[in-house]
Amino acid sequence: MSLPDHILTARWVIPVEPHNTVLEDHAVVIREGRILDLLPTSDAMARYQGVPTESFQDHALIPGLINAHTHAAMSLLRGIADDLPLMTWLGQHIWPLEQRFVGEMFVRDGTDLAIAEMIRGGVTTFNDMYFFPDITAQRVVRSGLRATLGMILVDFPTAWASGPDEYFEKGLALRDEYLHDPWVQFAFAPHAPYSVSDAPLKRVATLAAELDLPVHMHVHETLDEITQSIEKFGARPLQRLQQLDLLGPHFMAVHMTQLLEKEIELIAESGATIVHCPESNLKLASGFCPIAQLDAQGINIAIGTDGAASNNDLDMLGEMRTAALLAKGVAGDASAVPAASALRMATLGGAKALGRDADLGSLEVGKWADIAAIKLDDIETQPLFHPLSDLIYAAGRHQVSDVWVGGKRLLKDRELTTLDLQELKGRIAYWRQKLQTPATPDDRELAH
């Protein structure tokens, strides 16, 4: 047997599985990008002599965080239309800007900005829904991060495709291009029940079953969405999706702030995942997802930030804290969603949603070495009694010191290793100026 490539030792290792476990003075042994062993540091030093070893004695090692719902390129729209309700925000501000500017260049630069922010926040995998996923895939490969990319689908034409047939054609061709890539994978991504009609949704259901692919969709985001669905289709959105055979273990329902008891039961029976985006829901006043109720029903829950245009950050440490605190307030129960559960949702819950829990989401032998090191000796996390609680309720993303994906280091002592931060800032400065200018005939050309 060949020797490991390297060993990471840490004061604490929080593997997520087994649940609510903190291992003190342990080592993660890595070979060919995967976890070969997880054992006490003293045993690792005796068993694997001569292997390069790095010590993180003030840190907790955790599985890389999985951001289960993003619109990465929309990071360029951060802060451009704040403090507005969802449909006003979309219809009067975001959609008009997207019509003017979204193209390959916009997606390239916005995705790089999002990737840089996520790596620095301990994220190792993200689940994206946006136009030009071919460009997003290129940036993901270049950065070394992992992603599940949405084969976006809406009824209307955009800069990416002319209509449903072309959305399917281009999405499936791109998926075939990356078919055996362990870093870039794909999901069907019909935008929302109000933006995709029945025929394309039926096709999604058929293809998802045939190809064993996830389906990623905004559902029950606002009360207005429910009202419109009843008026147009005679059914609430979730009921309509059930009638179209979309609900099942492969289905990721994002937001879900408007839920009846019978709908919670339906989700539980179907095996679908709820992707919880608490900060975006709060900022847009969309409503409250009843996470404690869902968790009590055994429903898989993942956590996402949504896009930086509506959050306004991609901070998964902050999102876990908000998810845990909000769940307690909504349930009227201080024991709802304890720290260990919040971390599980942001790691193994996301991996399960993406159908990747055999390889990602926990620090277990055989899984990919996707790891984040969180430095817990800062004054903000002292005195430290319970590392897992401190991680959720006190730590900030500035304490993420190092990140590995497949054993490759993407962040070292807070410095990105695959992205040039200064060069990226220059590109973002261009967009800051451009996005504030009045419309001109050459906007579309510049976007490309």
In this structure, the answer to whether residues 124 and 175 fall within a common structural domain is: yes
For residue 58 the two structure tokens come to 């003030």
Tell me if 441 is assigned to some domain: no
In this structure, the answer to whether residues 338 and 403 fall within a common structural domain is: no
In this structure, the answer to whether residues 85 and 189 fall within a common structural domain is: yes
H helix or E strand, kind and range, residue 301: strand 300-303
In this structure, the answer to whether residues 95 and 223 fall within a common structural domain is: yes
Q: How far apart are CA 302 and CA 66, in angstroms?
A: 8
For residue 367 the two structure tokens come to 């899984």
Whole-angstrom CA distances from 169 to 54, 162, 172, 173, 438 are 47, 11, 6, 6, 34
Which residue's entry shows tokens 């989700």?
Answer: 267
In this structure, the answer to whether residues 59 and 74 fall within a common structural domain is: no
Tell me if 102 is assigned to some domain: yes
Q: Quick one: three-class SS letters along 168-213? A: HHHHHHHHHHCCCCCCEEEEEEECCCCCCCHHHHHHHHHHHHHHCC
CA-based R_g, the chain, Å: 21
Tell me if 172 is assigned to some domain: yes
Tell me if 298 is assigned to some domain: yes
**Do residues 27 and 4 lie in contact, with contact meaning Cβ atoms separated by under 8 Å?**
no
Among candidate residues 307, 323, 353, the one where a domain is terminated? 353
CA atoms within 13 A on the CB side of 318: 14
- DSSP string across 316-353: HHHHHHHHHHHHHHHHT-TTSS-HHHHHHIIIIIHHHH
Tell me if 253 is assigned to some domain: yes
Q: How far apart are CA 114 and CA 419, in angstroms?
A: 12
Give the pTM: 0.97
Structural domains of the chain, count: 2
pLDDT of amino acid 1: 58
Q: How far apart are CA 371 and CA 407, in angstroms?
A: 8
Q: Fill in the amino acid letter for 319.
A: E
Tell me if 156 is assigned to some domain: yes
Residue 406: name the closest of 12, 29, 9, 35 by CA. 35
SS percent in the chain: helix, strand, coil, step 5: 40, 20, 35
Which domain covers residue 292, as residue numbers? Answer: 65-353
In this structure, the answer to whether residues 58 and 86 fall within a common structural domain is: no
pLDDT of amino acid 318: 98
In this structure, the answer to whether residues 348 and 391 fall within a common structural domain is: no
Question: How do beta strands 53-63 and 371-375 pair?
Answer: antiparallel
pLDDT of amino acid 443: 58
pLDDT of amino acid 102: 96
Which residue's entry shows tokens 């840190």?
Answer: 59
For residue 14 the two structure tokens come to 């929080």
Terminal alpha carbon distance of the chain = 50
In this structure, the answer to whether residues 124 and 256 fall within a common structural domain is: yes
Which residue's entry shows tokens 């289709």?
Answer: 233
In this structure, the answer to whether residues 329 and 373 fall within a common structural domain is: no
Residue 301: name the closest of 317, 318, 281, 277 by CA. 277
- Series of mean pLDDT values for 10-residue runs along the chain (448 residues): 90 98 98 98 97 98 98 97 87 91 97 98 98 98 98 96 98 97 96 97 98 98 95 96 97 98 97 98 95 97 96 98 98 97 98 98 98 97 97 98 98 98 97 88 53
Residue 351: name the closest of 65, 59, 105 by CA. 65
Tell me if 72 is assigned to some domain: yes
Sign of the torsion angle spanned by Cα atoms 399, 431, 78, 371: negative
Tell me if 422 is assigned to some domain: no
Residue 251: name the closest of 220, 216, 219, 289 by CA. 216
- Chain centroid, CA 155 distance in Å: 25
In this structure, the answer to whether residues 192 and 333 fall within a common structural domain is: yes
Sign of the torsion angle spanned by Cα atoms 237, 243, 248, 251: negative
Q: Please, what's the b/e burial string for 311-349 (b: 16 or more CB within 10 A of its CB; e: otherwise)?
A: bbbbbbbbbbbbbbbbbbebbeeeebbbbbbbbbbbbbb
pLDDT of amino acid 2: 76
> Domain with 277 in it: what CATH number?
3.20.20.140
In this structure, the answer to whether residues 24 and 74 fall within a common structural domain is: no
In this structure, the answer to whether residues 188 and 298 fall within a common structural domain is: yes
Which residue's entry shows tokens 């959720």?
Answer: 392
> Domain with 25 in it: what CATH number?
2.30.40.10
Residue 427 DSSP SS3: helix
Q: How far apart are CA 372 and CA 401, in angstroms?
A: 8
